Each structure stands twice: as C-alpha cells, then as structure tokens.
Chains A and B, each alone.
Chain A
Amino acid sequence: MTEVNLGEEIVFWFSGGLAVLGALGLILSRKAVHSALWVALTMINLAVLYVANSAPFLGMVQVVVYTGAVMMLFLFVLMVVGVDSSDSLIETLKGQRLVAIVLAVGLAILLVAGIGAGLTDVVPVGLDEANGVDGGNVQGIARLLFTDYLVAFEVTSALLITAALGAMVLAHRERWLPRASQEELSKARFIGAGHPGNLPSSGTYARHNAVDTPALLPDGSPSAQSIPGPLVARGDVRPVDHHEVEQIESLGGGSK
C-alpha cells in the first residue's frame, strides 16, 4: 500500500463527509429546490476528491457539466413548474416502486463488487506513476477515451444526441403562418384600427380608484377608453359625480 499523508486524510474526511451529508440532504429535504442544492454540494465535494486524487480534469469537468449545467437545468425546470408545488404520493406508474427497489439493489451490488474488486485485486502503484504513463492526467484520460472506451463513448454520445433530438421533436410546433417580425407587428399596431400605445388608465379620485371609474378628459367628460370594454358593455361603469368633485375642490380652500 502507498501511505496516506495527513493533508490527504483531512481532505478525504472533510469532503467525503460533506458529500455524504449532501446525499442525505437530498433524500431528507422537503423542498425540491433544497434537494437540488444538496446534490450540488455532493457534486462539488466529489470534484474536490477527484482533484485530490490527481485527476484535475475529471474534477473540473464534474463541476462544469454536472453542477454548472445538469443541476442548473434541474433548478430551471423546478422554477418553471412552480417551486412550491408539493409532490403527490400516489403511484402513477404501476409497479414503479418494486422496479426501483430491484434496480437500486442491482446498482448497489455492482458498486460494491466494483469497488471491492478495486480494493482487493488491483495493486496500487501511486498516483504519479498512473498519471505518468501518458505524460499527464489529461493525456491519460484522452488515450483511454479514444482507445479502450471508444465504443462506449460513441454509444453514449449517440444516446445523448437521440435524447436531444427527441426533446426537440416533442417540443416542436409546426407554424401555420411564418412568425410575424418586429417590423410587421409594429406596422400592424399603427395601421390597424386599435390604439397604438397604452390606453389611458382609469380615473383616480378621492373616493374611488377602481377600474370601473373613468378618467376625465380635459373638457370634463369621461373617457370611454379608460374603462375595460366588457364593463362598458355590461353597463357597469361608475358615473363620475361632478357634484362630488366640486365639493372636494371647495373643501381644498385656497386652490384656484
């Protein structure tokens, strides 16, 4: 065995502990956004462990891809669908829990077997030796990706591209008419019969300021444009009481 120095031990227990804490937080949080944050913590600490093990490329890519892109997309989706929506506990897919348990146990067996084999069968040569084979950590990863794991790498990329294409097909909408450009929209607004800008807002008076109170034009008559059409059609417009206005004006005293 190669010996472990104090610094390595501190980094391992600190980052490892935080990573486990993040994993626990993921399961135990009630809010989906908090869960996402705990996962981000786990990922960053895994990256620290990679760097501590002389795999800086893996560590940085872990942060850029998983923390920076994947978790960010998760957060994005959580925000779009509504951050406060609670999860329903009703099973929508039949037998989902059973399948999940079987798969989890299978994954656990795979992980334990893999790590166990790594701990017992492989003779450690030390990180400098391992990285020195190809003249550096980055070069070593590049050689592995493009020789031993080329097929797996390409298959994964094909899978990802298929998923991306699938997402595009699902989200695609065939346009009936070409999208109106900014110029066309602007022209339609001004040439058309409508009002090009904002309509005047409703009146604000001492006693009433709701949308059913019309604003007054300079000549003192109520402006029909300041009231929503449906209210006018229903006859639900509050008449402006000129007497009241005058009364208030007279109370003002020294005004003109």
Chain B
Amino acid sequence: MTGSQFGVFGIDPWWLVLLKALAIFVMLVLLTLFTIWWERRVVSRMQNRIGPNRVGPFGLLQSLMDGFKLGLKEEIIPKAAHVGVYWIAPVISATAAFLAFAVIPFGPTVSIFGVETPLQLTDFPVSVLYVLAIASIGIYGIVLAGWSSGSTYPLLGGLRSSAQMISYEIAMGMSFVAVFLYAGSMSTSEIITAQEPIWFAVILLPSFLIYVTSMVGETNRAPFDLPEAEGELVGGFHTEYSSLKFAMFFLAEYINMVTVSALATTLFLGGWLAPWPISLWESANTGWWPLLWWLIKVQIFIFVFIWLRATLPRLRYDQFMKFGWKVLIPASIVWIMVVAAARVLRNDIEFSNRQLLIGGAIVIAVLLVGSWFAQGALDRREAARKFIREEIDSRPFEPMAGGFPVPPMPGQQAVLTTRRSNIPVVQQEAIDG
C-alpha cells in the first residue's frame, strides 16, 4: 500500500503473517466456544437456572462436546434442495465471518520472535469499509441457504434476512461517517490513534447508539432475530440444515457477534487503548497489555448481546423494518449533517464554541416554532378527513351504485347477496336492463 502511515503494515515476513492468521483463526474458534458457554450460563442466571456445569471446570468444555456431537450427527439433505448452492451457502457464511477479522487491531506494535510488528493482521486506507463489504458477502450465505433448501420456511427466513440486512447496513454505514469525519481516516489503526484523548463513544454518542442498535440487527440476534424466529419460521434459513453444515452457520453467527463487537470497540471505545483509570499508568498502552483491554471491551459488548436476548421479546417484522427506515436512518442523516456542519464551521470559518452553541440554540428554536405550525396544519387536515369520513359513513350502502356491483366503503355494512334470487327486485331490473 502507498502512504507512509501504513509503513508498519505489509512488511512482515511470511511466517509472521501465517502465524498471525493462524492465531486469529484459533482465537475466533475459542471465543466462539467460550461465548456459547458464557451465553448459556448468563441466560441461565437471568432465568434462575444453573446452566451447563458438568463438562470441564464450570462446564467450560460443554460447547466443545456439543460441537463434537453436532459434527457426528447424521446429515439430512432435502430432496428439493438445489445441491450446489445448498453446499456453498454455509461455506460462504463461515468464510466471510473469519475474513472480516483481518483488519481488526488487537494492540500496538509488539515484538514477536524479535520482529517488531503491530498486533493486527493487516490494515489499509479503507479497512472499515472492508469489514462492511465482507459482512455484505456473508449475508449471501444466509439468503442462499434460505433459497436453496427448497422449502417455504427457509425461503421466508432468507427473504427476511436480505431485507433486514440491507436496511440495517445503511444505518450502520451511516453511523461510521461521523467517526470517519472526526478520525480523518477509514483505517482501523488510525481511528484508534485518533481516540487517544477521548473515545468517540463520548463525543459521537448518537452514532454509537445507532451503531449498537444496527449491529444487533446485522447479526440476527434477539430482539432482531426475525430470519430465524423459531415461533414463526421453525429455524428460519437454517431449518433444513443439519450436522456440520448447521455447525458452520452456528459458528458464523457467533464469530459475527465477536466481529461487530470488535468493530464497535475499535470505532467507538478506543480499541486497545486502556480505559480511564488504567490509562494513568504509563505503560498501560504498550506491550501485550492492550490485548487484555481489547478483550474486556469486546466481552462487555458480548454480554450486552446476551443480556438483550434474555430480556427483550422479538419485534414484530413490520415494526422492525419501520424502526430501521423511519427512525435509525433519518436520525443518522440528521446527525451526520450536524457533525459535518459543526466541523466545517469550526475548521474553515473559525467559529468559537460559544458561537456554535448560540447558533445551535437558534436552530432548535426555529425547529420548535416550525413544528408548532406543522402540527396545526396536520390537525386541520385530520379534521377535514374525519369530516369526509363521517359524511361517507352516514350514507347507506348501495350494492349496485351506478348500475355496477360495488364493495362497501369502510364502515358500511355489506348486504349478503350471493344468489340472484336474493337481490331486491329493483336491482334485478337494473341488472337485466
């Protein structure tokens, strides 16, 4: 890559690249096993149960054993499945889940076997967009799984997930924009260094909230797990999958959880930077310590995922889509406009903070007055509508208005006339002419 700032990336010897890739792979698989156990334990606690505690210390090896069992189960492929696509769908899902982690930073430059190298596989000027791109490829796995199963419920699950992911990806992408504006870069490592004095979660709180909401939608987790809503769609897109293929979807879902959590940490919580009281310690951000801070932050997000699942009921599909399109996306657009305007005013026109605050107050006042007028206009329109409705409701229903059979207007009672002999004589004459 060009640009001096990426000098530390792309110069590792080949064995180190291989080592890092392997380490990331192993870490993701272990994190998946751990997260499944963690989720089951936490949800159990929240439901006054104990949860898995038999295999290994605290039941930690439970998910490993479950994984073995899942892999050894019989595989059932439906007759109506489109075989090629059916095979490749879980592969796409799992591969994409692993790929996204290539640009996530775990820590600063450390020394591995005498080579100075950053704790990150690679980085380039648009690496956050790379994560988005890989996520959008991962959706193909789910959608294709739904289609290729040759069955109704999976197809509905696939449909839902494609609509859901497109909608929530827009909100997600927009929540990045404010971060890019403040960091002046789209590379993960530079975004972290840009958060050295203060995290973006603090100064860009609305972006952070929008991202956290959309990341739950993006990973198909409760309360947004509509593509696999078991009450409505059996298992959704993976209904017809069994054995190792199902295990791959399972793996992909948990890795995706870790990925979006890691991205949230990177973009908003300062990545591997130490949190405040620890950051007073001089060497908190050097050596291998940052890996620990990173892991703790990611685990906090994962805990939130689990907490949400144990607490909230699933949303209704139309409410969910409405929330994405009518709340999250407009809110992000407005917020981006505010951030961009504030930055232009401060950087180019050199407004002071005080002038910005006064300007903001004026804008809010204008909006308030405007909304008052708008409400008045809306009320008048509603009153007019109500008048017309009452006017129509008061008229009796004419089944043959204008000589043609017409349906009743809302509020009017239909006359049940299915047989010719039932129609009043006057109207029969109207039909016969």
- Who on chain B is nearest to A69 by CB? B166
Contact status A176-B169, CB under 8 Å: no
Indicate if B124 sits at the interface (CB-CB under 8 A): yes
> With the chains together, A251 CA to B186 CA distance in Å?
78
Query: What is the 8 Å Cβ interface bit string for chain B, positions 74-97, against chain A (1 contact, 0 not)?
Result: 000000001001000000000000
**Chain B residues with Cβ under 8 A from A60's Cβ?**
126, 129-130, 132-133
Q: A37-B144, A64-B136, A136-B3 are in contact. Are A72 and B409 (CB under 8 A)?
A: no
**Chain A residues with Cβ under 8 A from B48's Cβ?**
none
Contact status A64-B166, CB under 8 Å: no
Q: A137-B125, A177-B389 are in contact. Are A83 and B137 (CB under 8 A)?
A: no
Which residues in chain A, 45-93, are within 8 Å of chain B measured between CB atoms?
47, 54, 56-57, 60-61, 63-64, 67-69, 72-73, 75-76, 79-80, 83
User: What interface size band does chain A fall in?
Assistant: 35 or more
Query: What is the 8 Å Cβ interface bit string for chain B, positions 159-202, against chain A (1 contact, 0 not)?
Result: 10011011001000100000000000010000000000000000
The contact of B410 among A34, A67, A68, A176, by CB within 8 Å, is: A176
> With the chains together, A83 CA to B163 CA distance in Å?
17
**Chain B residues with Cβ under 8 A from A137's Cβ?**
2, 125
> With the chains together, A15 CA to B42 CA distance in Å?
46
- Who on chain A is nearest to B136 by CB? A68
**Chain B residues with Cβ under 8 A from A83's Cβ?**
147, 155
> With the chains together, A57 CA to B2 CA distance in Å?
13
Indicate if B139 sits at the interface (CB-CB under 8 A): yes
Contact status B165-A72, CB under 8 Å: yes
> With the chains together, A217 CA to B137 CA distance in Å?
55
Which residues in chain A, 151-171, are within 8 Å of chain B measured between CB atoms?
none
Contact status A68-B389, CB under 8 Å: no
- Who on chain B is nearest to A68 by CB? B136
Indicate if A237 sits at the interface (CB-CB under 8 A): no
Indicate if B223 sits at the interface (CB-CB under 8 A): no
Indicate if A19 sits at the interface (CB-CB under 8 A): no
**Chain A residues with Cβ under 8 A from B162's Cβ?**
72, 75-76, 79
A residues touching B (Cβ–Cβ < 8 Å)? Answer: 31, 33-34, 37, 40, 44, 47, 54, 56-57, 60-61, 63-64, 67-69, 72-73, 75-76, 79-80, 83, 127-128, 131-132, 135-138, 176-177, 182
Known interface pairs A33-B147, A72-B140; 6 further A-B residue pairs with C-beta atoms within 8 A, sorted by A's residue number: A64-B169, A68-B135, A68-B166, A72-B162, A79-B143, A137-B2
B residues touching A (Cβ–Cβ < 8 Å)? Answer: 1-3, 82, 85, 124-126, 129-130, 132-137, 139-140, 143-144, 146-147, 155, 158-159, 162-163, 165-166, 169, 173, 186, 316, 389, 409-411
